Every structure is written in C-alpha cells, then in structure tokens.
Homo-oligomer: A and B are copies of this chain.
C-alpha cells in the first residue's frame, strides 16, 4: 500500500500538493495536477479514508435505519437511497433495525452516536421526543421517511387522505357495504400508518352518511398469505360479505383477491377491491390502487441530508412533507352488482 508520500516523491512535489491536486481543492497548476494524477495512478494510490476523515471530520457515509428489507416498500426505498447516495459519492451503511427493544437501544446507545456517519436517514422509525433530541444533539443532518416527527424533516404520503381517496372511490361507484382490511393497530411500527388509513376510511364513510360498524374493520399482517387467510374468513361467510373491500396495502388486496378467486367470488362483479401502493404485482391482478413511489421518497431524503452537508446554511423543510398519492384505476373495482328483488 503506497501512501501519499510515495506519490509526492514520484511526482516530485510535496504531500500538500498531492493532496490538493487529487482532491481538487486549492491552487494547483495543470501541469503538476497531471503529473500527480499519473503518479497516483501508476502506484495504484488511493487515499486513506480514515486519515482524511480524521482531519476533515467527514466520513462520506450515510447511515440508513430501516425496519424491514424484504418487502417491496422498504426494498424500493433502499434502492432509491442507495442509488442517490452513490451518485453523490457517499456510501451507505445499512442498519436493519427490527422493532425489538433490544435492537433499538443498541442503535441509540451504540451506533448513532459513533462517529461513523455524516448523516442519518430513518425509515419509519418511530422514536420518542427524547430520542429525537439525542439524535439532533449529534448535530448531524437527519431525515426520515414516515412521520411527522417533531424537529426532523420527514416525508410520506398522507395516509389519512389515501384511505379517504380509496374509500371514496368505492363510494362513488355506489358501494355502501365496504369493509376495511388493514393493519393491526397495536402492532404498527411505522408512523401509525394503520390507524391513519383506517381513519381515512372512517371519515369517508361518515361523510357519506354510512354508520361505521365495528365489524367492518379487520386486521391482518401486511403480507399476501396473511391477507389471504383473513380474506377467506371474511368472504367465506355470506352474511358478512361486503360488496367492496378497501385493503390497506396492495399485498393485502392481492391476498383478498386470491381468497375471492378461491371461493368463486368474482372480482369486480361480486366484490370490488382497492389497495394502496401500486405494487409491481398490482397490474397483473388488475388491481385498482393508490400509487406511491418509495424509491423517489428515498431519493428525496438523500437530497435533503446531502444538500445540508454540502451547502452550508441550506436546510430542508422544517415540517413534514406530504407527497401526492394518485388513484390508478384498473379492473378490480366496479359498480356493485344490482341487488336482486
């Protein structure tokens, strides 16, 4: 491993000049810059990031805290974040923080506080105001997907509005018997996504003058098999079967559709289904959905933290940023079948 001194000797200049030539900071004549680059290349020299971090205080790393990886929403965020970071010359340190308390503590006590990252991106990380203070005290740029989170710039779709939009779509088609298959309120790790989408649903119903019925909300985990099971239970009981279902995510919606198929219930003739996400599988199931783009959300928060790092004085929106979520109509929703008799 050759150090900067070797390059300096080979190029016939001082270490300082090598540093300036290679980093592009300060004055260096074109001639020497060239000689230095060639010397560096021929030696296979590459700067020691620890040494340069030590003096600059910058690591060029950004920490990303995320609760799940193997799910479309989260995987897409990572892809977006990674792409954006690499484009800007930063490296991504990944922390898969499941909701167990032990791991949470580890992050706060141990990781975040270490001097290894220049900025932090937190994905649907629900933290207490006290923890927020600790984070802010680090003096490092931080941004989140999810939220709102007091004091930290965050980003997400308006889940209440999305829930309303979905429900209103069904109402507009003429449905009055609409069930909501959503997440378990007690289990949500993300920013009350589950209760927010439920809230939007309830608001839309209320506005339409439809009384909200206890039984019309059923909880499930956010994956296809779980939703499939729940779907079979709901749809298996003819007295309970609604004319439409608002599923809190596309995975849930697909589970429900598969359950309906299994039971010989036609979608959308006998049952309309709408989801949220515009998941890659939505199209093949003809699923009407509300689109969001987690990859772009990832790019956006990267932009926030990096710009903060590189443009002194700049700062991202102080408050929560709401992203548009638009309805994509496909063939899983339709007017309810006219009642017989």
Contacts and interface: CB of A to CB of B under 8 A. Distances in A.
B83 A96 contact: yes
A328 to B, nearest CB: 15
Interface residues of A, number: 45
Given A69-B75, A79-B96, A49 B115 contact: yes
How many copies of the shown chain assemble into the complex? Answer: 2
Interface string A90-124: 01111110000000001000010111100000000
- Identify which of A1, A82, A94, A225 gathers the most chain B CB atoms within 10 Å of its CB: A94
A44 interface: yes
A50 B115 contact: yes
B75 A70 contact: yes
Contacts of A284: 224-225, 228, 258
B54 A280 contact: no
Given A44-B113, A75-B70, A225-B280, A94 B96 contact: no
A258 B113 CA distance: 49
Interface in A170-190: none
Contacts of A49: 50, 59, 114-116
Interface of A: 1, 44, 46-51, 53-54, 59, 61, 69-72, 75-76, 78-79, 82-83, 86, 91-96, 106, 111, 113-116, 223-225, 228, 258, 261, 280-281, 283-284
A330 to B, nearest CB: 13
A71 B280 CA distance: 11
Contacts of A71: 75
A106 B87 CA distance: 11
6 contacts: A49-B59, A78-B96, A82-B94, A91-B116, A224-B281, A225-B280
